[in-house]
Amino acid sequence: MRRVAVLGTGHSNYMFRSEKPSTELMSETAMEAIIDSGLMPGDIQAFLMGNAWGAFEEGQSTLQSYVANEIGCYNIPATRLEGACSSGTMAVREGFIWVASGFYDIVLVGGVERATALPTPLATRVFVTCADSLYEWPTGFVYPASFGMLAHLYCRTYNIPLSKLEGIMACVSVQSHEYALLNPKAQIHKKLTKEDVLNSPMVATPLRLHNCCPFTDGSAAIVLASEEFAKKLDKRPVYIAGVGQASSGRISSQSAYYPRIRSREVSSRQAYRMAGITPEDIDLCELHDCFSIASLIAAEGLGFFEYGTAGDAWEKGNTRIGGKIPINISGGLKAKGHPVGATGVGQVVEVTQQLRGELMEQGRQVEGARYGMTDTMGADGVVTNIILTTEK
């Protein structure tokens, strides 16, 4: 199996209510990645794109084919992947497999979403199509309720008072907003205090408004290439060292394992094993923080902290730059934004730029980083993990 490099990156601003349609958003970002890689559209052999709800948002399916044509990648295979919030990362993993196998030398991977094209009630209904539609969501298992339930289970499982967990979750949100203020691509540029979070409206106990990520419009793209090809063009290659993907059944089928997410543990171990490293080797991570409680569950499931202790890490600053494991230095889903189909690709762009040392001027560079990891969870447990490195 060949080594695969990230050759170029592209990333739109994450925003509310984009005036551009998804085809235009994706086309601009794709061209940014192609130009950054030093290639031309005619060099791209295949296009993989994450998009969850284009048919709902704009009444438009098969976005990938129109994007490929718009950017001059005529008649290449263009494929859309859907795994709810994990759609984009699934596309990255598939692109990696195609190049690593030797079938293609150069693949364009992108993701796009215009989630704010939907009014909130409809968006909530559309999002929950990725949950069990026969038995669970009709009884109220929309995602805020599900993660609220996980928060209560987290307290009970690890003997943490609910009031203490609420304070911890507030720290998670405060950190994310602080780093998003430094990220020009982030959707929300607003400083939060712990009191702001604790006094914000209740959404689904104990989750308040500022414990929840926003709906987002945006796109991101990368160009993947074989190591041999990449070395001809790029003096600073970032390689994909490991990938993992796992899935789960409906929420009720996971009850014996909650609040841990078994599919995350399976997927991340696949990625660690492929990369030949352990969680202690990871220098930074962009993880799936759709709700503040999700940050704690993910950080523990990825092996960064013992179960039930991740909150202490956030409170002590161990998840900040200079801490044990910098987490969501982009601002995360909470403040950078969550354009569902693009989220995972945007995470890979962020880690690639960190490993290249390109974020010094923004004041959020994790200096000396060698290994970075992304973590994306869609629906009830479609988890995809990517490990990237500068190591030869």
Check if 11 is active-site.
no
Decide if 230 contacts 236 (C-beta within 8 A): no
**Which single residue is written with the structure tokens 């609220």?**
148
What was the pLDDT predicted at 234?
66
Decide if 376 contacts 89 (C-beta within 8 A): yes
What was the pLDDT predicted at 360?
97
Rounded CA Rg of the chain: 19
What was the pLDDT predicted at 180?
98
Residues 367 and 359: their CA atoms lie apart, in Å, by: 9
Whether 136 is in a domain gets the answer no
Nearest partner of 108 among 65, 63, 51, 47, judged by Cα: 47
Q: What is the DSSP letter of 374?
A: E
Check if 213 is active-site.
no
Number of domains making up the chain: 1
Whether 149 is in a domain gets the answer no
* Torsion angles phi and psi, residue 167, rounded to 5: -65, -40
What is the extent of the structural domain holding 73? 4-120+214-389
Whether 138 is in a domain gets the answer no
Whether 50 is in a domain gets the answer yes
Whether 362 is in a domain gets the answer yes
Side-chain-facing half-sphere of 292: CA atoms under 13 Å: 30
CATH of the domain at 94: 3.40.47.10
Whether 198 is in a domain gets the answer no
Whether 158 is in a domain gets the answer no
What was the pLDDT predicted at 156?
97
Whether 191 is in a domain gets the answer no
Strands (E), 77-174: 78-81, 106-114
Residues 29 and 352: their CA atoms lie apart, in Å, by: 16
Nearest partner of 213 among 191, 239, 231, 187, judged by Cα: 187
**Which single residue is written with the structure tokens 């909470």?**
334
Consecutive 10-residue runs of the chain (392 residues): their mean pLDDT? 96 97 98 96 98 91 96 98 96 98 98 93 84 84 91 98 98 98 98 98 98 97 96 84 95 90 98 98 98 98 98 98 98 98 98 98 98 96 97 84
From the list 11, 177, 210, 338, the catalytic residue is: 338
From the list 73, 85, 171, 285, the catalytic residue is: 85
Tokens describing residue 383: 């988890």
